[in-house]
Chains A and B, each alone.
Chain A
Amino acid sequence: MKFTIDWLKEHLDTDADLDTIVETLNRIGHEVASVENAGEKLADFRIAKVISAEKHPNADKLQLLKVDTGEGDPVQVVCGAPNARAGMVGVFAAPGMYVPGIDVTLGAAKIRDVESFGMMCSERELEISEEHDGVIDLPDDAPVGEKYAQWAGLDDPAIDIEVTPNRQDCMGVRGIARDLAAAGLGRQKTLVEAYEPAGAQPVDSTNGSNGQRIEVQPVEGEGEPSIEIRTDDPEGCPAFFGRTVAGITNGASPAWMQKRLRAIGQKPISALVDITNFVMIDLGRPLHVYDRKKLGEALFARRAEDGETLVALNGKSYRLTPEMTVIADENASHDIGGIMGGEETGVQDDTTDIVIECAWFDPARISRTGQQLGLMSDARVRFERGVDPAFLQDGITIATLLVQALCGGKPSATVKAGSPPVPEKSVAYDPQLCATLGGLSVPSDKQCATLEALGFTVRGEGPFAVTVPSWRRDIDGAPDLVEEVLRIEGLDAIPSVPLTRAEGVATPTASAEQKRERKVRRAAAARGLNEAVTWSFISEAEAAVSGDAPWVLANPISEDMKVMRTSMIPGLAAAAKRNRDLGASTVRLFEVGRRYLADGEHPTLGLILAGRNGARHWQDEDTGFDAFDAKAEAMALLAAAGAPTDKLQLFGDASGIYHPGRSGRLCLGPKNTLAEFGELHPATLKALDLDGPAMAAEIYLDAIPMPRASSHMRPAYAPPGQQSVTRDFAFLLDADAPAGDLLHAVKGSDKQLIVDARIFDVFTGEGVEDGKKSVAIEVTLQPIDKSFTEEELKAISDKVVKAAEKVGGELRD
């Protein structure tokens, strides 16, 4: 919502300067987005007079002007404007000045071999308007040499505020003036004062019919309107006030009105259009004006017919539904009610008879219609927030007064079809609430004064009965009134009060899941993995790699971000690819996030290893990653997450994203998969456009059983009394048999004495028959109270061999 200081002062009697006004607006809840002062931008532009104009010797469309700038000798200016002529007064820019509309700092230039020392400016060049057909043509008596902006009244700072959605009343300058007055910045003028120049007269009684509160004497008008006005959709359009005005002359609006509109970035169009825009911005009251002659016998609100189309004033065609309200005559609809008028029946320069519409539309209906049509307008913004339902009478009176003043014509009587809902809201308000909810003690008489300044009526003592003004649709409870008092007092006045806190050191609050997530994240980083955060949504093609994605966005921002990931891998692979493309030789990325499955969201750690295994180094051979690197990460991170890694089973059937022979699932029982890891399937790499090989793993954090809460106490430490001994065994195993099973069997062959077993060699080739492999295992034995005898060692050895045989392991000689 944009307005200027001068405009504000039409409604606010104040001595406050710009800074005070800006500061106060921020303080009371109207965030100032910008303050623009055209006067500053145009400070150096001066009024100048063209003394003579001659044809340029070398160009047909250019002229050589001699310009009196009010200072020193006249200067020569080459000018291409068709309206430049001797005797004309305009606006001059000297060399060295910055011209905002063309973003150029002028220099002395030669144009077609003739020197030019400055330029005469158009309105567009000064960013006053889009006008560029000719240079600015000022009245003959404009003072040569004076500052243009000052003379033209452009040094009126424009303030743009962000009006919050609850404050429809401040979508008009008058409402802002009311708030500022309540905040102590002067006196809000009466509506009659503000519109005195247009002929506004005070009324005797403020109670009008149809629930209206009136301040301005209505214009009676003569006779009934020449068109029947009614509402056939009392839900969507509960009230439609209208009248005709015959015999008007449209044309340009007066300079004062154009200046106001331009100052806030609105383009003046014609007197009638400008009046509707002016009243909307001045009073927050949208209006519509139709060309009477383009309408039939009746003008009424109704629900749109299904599939009906209407070409709006923006030139676009809209397809309507019965959930939308239109204003129509008996032939067609002419206005998307409360949002935008139709192109066909809009007023033109030659319009002579008009219908003025001042209606009230259901805010929810307007909001839905606007959303469905994707159509935003100044009217919609106001109607969907709920314009003052008691201001239709004054609205149409002021519109009529302005039409009469600017365009003449004879108004008819006003038809008031329907009654807008004017709620009689009264709120019981205990002024203590300001302290108990708002944290600020304000004397109740001061609270009362603030509320009254804002238009509330306050009755009673102690708990007040507060009547809400019709323009404050947002107020419906005592906390709202606390907010009104607080914002006028200023929230900075609220003293900070510490929350109570438990005595002593703060109690830990993190849940077991949270602690686990933090731990596994830092474990991954400690292992040299870099944490990434990638999008939760991926493309359908990426999702296809990891199976069906149940969650598909109806309105994705792009096809690349359409479905919720069911795997962490595609996003990480895409990041890996980007890094590889940027020249990274080694990529080790991980992410802790969620996978989005049909049954819910699952916290997961995903990781990818691509490129060279470690930086190139003179001591190392250059190798890539292999599936064991992925397994190492998976095992280490499972351990960090508290998974019972010694109880995990390996299954070879990881999901299809992986190479079938080089991947696995780590499980607690076949159905509870804690992690998957392996080399990515060549098809996955191809689909994700990543040069392989690449390794990946996913740890399913929510599948890991949470260890039972235990105390901090560890079991007592009992160092073994004897030194452990090791024995090496070598077994022949079928080449395709899992060595892990052999290891498991060996380890389990004597649960008391064997404390560790590890594979230290796997060999095929000379000395090992075809189809077999040799697996060498070092077994660590721990004697209990005295060292092993030869017999005991032999007995253990026999157990090991026997256990190995059960899984197909044959002791090598």
Chain B
Amino acid sequence: MTIEQQKPDLDTLKRDLFAAMDVATSLDALDAVRVHALGKKGVVTELLKTLGGMTAEDRKTEGPKINGLRREIAAAIDAKKTELETEQLEARLASETIDLSLPARETLQGSIHPVSQVMDELAEIFADLGFAVATGPEIEDDWHNFSALNIPESHPARADHDTFYFQPSPLQGRGKSREAAKGEGEDGDTPTPNPSPSGEGEKRMLLRTHTSPVQIRTMMSQKPPIRIIAPGRTYRSDSDATHTPMFHQIEGLVIDKGIHMGHLKWTLETFLKAFFERDDVVLRLRPSYFPFTEPSAEVDVGYSIDDNGQQVIGGSDRWMEVLGSGMVNRKVIEACDLDPDEWQGFAFGTGIDRLAMLKYGMNDLRPFFDGDLRWLKHYGFSALDVPTLSAGVGA
């Protein structure tokens, strides 16, 4: 027997090991092959150990062969391992399929009412022009709603207001609201003067028929120059297709020195262009009559009817009335203890619901106050649609 004969034939060993790898179909089986070949007592490991007993010459020739075999086997096992792992992963993934055509959970979408959205839009536009937002009570007294606005008891204009009055009630206290108690004065939401039990004459309590009493409250509590808008709920005893007993108005008031109708016109043009986000908004001012302004003007805005029959603001095909306005009557300024020779200004008022309808294409006012979710979702706005000047106030 020769040494050569005693030593396993490397080629045969290699063939046997590769054959064992080929039949290994699991990572465990492959690991058994690895241990058999490369483990502490593996056949290749044993061969490597024989190198130490060889002559330098033999080692020189056998060394590279045996080491070469070890590397080859190790690489083949790694490759096989990757292959098996991939197979195993694919098998797992194949078993983990889910039906993604099933619907995911929905997050409920909330919405902002168009009236609130439009109020925010208006506040944003007017803030840029230096107007603050003022508020006042909805339960008003006769003096603020009528007399101070130059609408005395017997004035025919009163008949047009369809006023809601309150029954006198012992429950109606003379206390102050939290705001008033904190010293926010006339600007708070408490009716002043407080209702007398009988509630007669100028103290008679009513639901404000317009936002104009906020003009009075502002002029009485603030020193000019004044620039405010006053949006809010208003009430008239009227109900048909285009009127609801509760609706929203916005009032604008500027009191300063040297203010004239040209400023009024510019302000209205500027605001309506910004609101409708159109440069072709055209206004037509018509002389009119409001007891609290002199001169007074009704303001028409040009519009056209599109192919769907919707009214589209812009141009001057047709006209619709959108605003009442004028220079604040001297008597009103006097009623607020200001000197009309020193201070003058303008006021205007319009319907917020109406503005919303015109801008967003609603043709019926009545659903505004139904709380019908279908309508609210259709015409409502996302919480994130916060009107900004840089993005345009339209959502």
Which residues in A have some Cβ–Cβ distance to B below 8 Å? 26-29, 31, 164-167, 363-365, 367-368, 370-371, 381, 384-385, 435-440, 474, 477, 479-480, 482-483, 486-487, 491-492, 494-499, 501-502, 506-511, 513-514, 518, 521-537, 548, 550-557, 561, 564, 571-572, 574-576, 578-579, 582, 584, 586-589, 591-594, 596, 598-603, 614-615, 617-620, 702-703
Contacts and interface: CB of A to CB of B under 8 A. Distances in A.
22 contacts: A29-B286, A165-B160, A480-B294, A487-B295, A491-B286, A497-B266, A501-B129, A509-B127, A509-B133, A521-B116, A522-B386, A524-B383, A525-B380, A528-B108, A548-B171, A553-B165, A574-B371, A599-B190, A600-B137, A615-B106, A618-B102, A702-B178
Q: List the 3 closest pairs (A to B, CB-CB), nearest first.
A: A575-B371, A600-B177, A439-B262
Given A498-B266, A532-B376, A600-B175, A518 B120 contact: yes
Contacts of B376: 530-532
Contacts of B370: 575, 578
B261 A534 contact: no
A554 B164 CA distance: 7
Interface string B289-312: 100001111100000000000000
Given A496-B262, A532-B371, 17 more contacts: A165-B160, A368-B154, A381-B156, A436-B258, A486-B295, A509-B127, A511-B132, A525-B111, A528-B108, A531-B110, A536-B235, A557-B164, A571-B371, A600-B191, A601-B138, A602-B177, A615-B106
B154 A601 contact: no
Interface of B: 102-103, 105-113, 115-116, 120, 123, 126-133, 137-139, 153-157, 159-160, 164-167, 169, 171-173, 175-180, 188-191, 205, 207, 227, 233, 235, 237-239, 245-246, 254, 258-267, 269-270, 284-289, 294-298, 321, 327, 329-330, 344, 368-374, 376-377, 380-384, 386
B110 A600 contact: no
B155 A367 contact: yes
A166 B296 CA distance: 11
B327 A479 contact: yes
Contact of B112 (A363, A384, A522): A522
A370 B158 CA distance: 12
Contacts of B109: 528
Contacts of A480: 294-295
Contact of A506 (B113, B130, B164, B179): B130
A531 B287 contact: no
A598 B376 CA distance: 32
A497 B129 contact: no
A483 B294 CA distance: 7
Contact of A486 (B267, B287, B289): B287
User: Which among B169, B188, B238 has the greatest number of chain A C-beta atoms within 10 A?
Assistant: B169
Contacts of B265: 439, 491, 494-497
Contact of A164 (B169, B289, B371, B374): B289
B112 A525 contact: yes
Contact of B172 (A479, A551, A554, A557): A551
Main secondary structure of the interface of A (DSSP, over half): mixed
Contacts of A477: 294, 330
User: Which among A365, A440, A510, A588 has the greatest number of chain B C-beta atoms within 10 A?
Assistant: A510
A492 B285 contact: yes
Contacts of A574: 371
Contacts of A511: 132-133
Given A531-B380, A618-B103, A486 B261 contact: yes
Contacts of A487: 287, 295
A497 B262 contact: yes
A427 to B, nearest CB: 12
Contacts of B110: 524-531, 588
A494 B297 CA distance: 12
Contacts of B296: 483
A596 B139 contact: yes
B383 A31 contact: no
A531 B116 contact: yes
Contacts of A553: 164-167, 207
Nearest to B254: A499
B287 A536 contact: no
Contact of A385 (B156, B263, B286): B156
Nearest to B329: A479
Contacts of B287: 27-29, 483, 486-487, 491
A26 B180 CA distance: 46
A536 B138 contact: yes
A586 B131 contact: no
Contacts of B288: 29, 31, 164
Contact of B173 (A509, A518, A598, A620): A598
A618 B105 CA distance: 9
Contacts of B139: 551, 564, 596, 601
A550 B171 contact: yes
Nearest to B294: A479
Nearest to B171: A550
Contact of B127 (A29, A364, A510): A510
Given A483-B287, A491-B261, A521-B116, A364 B153 contact: yes
Contacts of A614: 106, 108
A703 B166 contact: no
B177 A510 contact: no
Given A496-B265, A536-B138, A596-B139, A491 B166 contact: no
A501 B254 CA distance: 13
Contacts of A164: 288-289
A499 B259 CA distance: 8
A575 B382 CA distance: 21
Contacts of A535: 245-246, 369
User: Which among B156, B188, B286 has the greatest number of chain A C-beta atoms within 10 A?
Assistant: B156
Given A364-B154, A486-B295, A531-B380, A371 B138 contact: no
Nearest to A522: B383
Contacts of A510: 123, 127, 132-133
Contact of B260 (A497, A532, A536, A537): A497
Given A506-B127, A530-B373, A572-B371, A371 B159 contact: yes
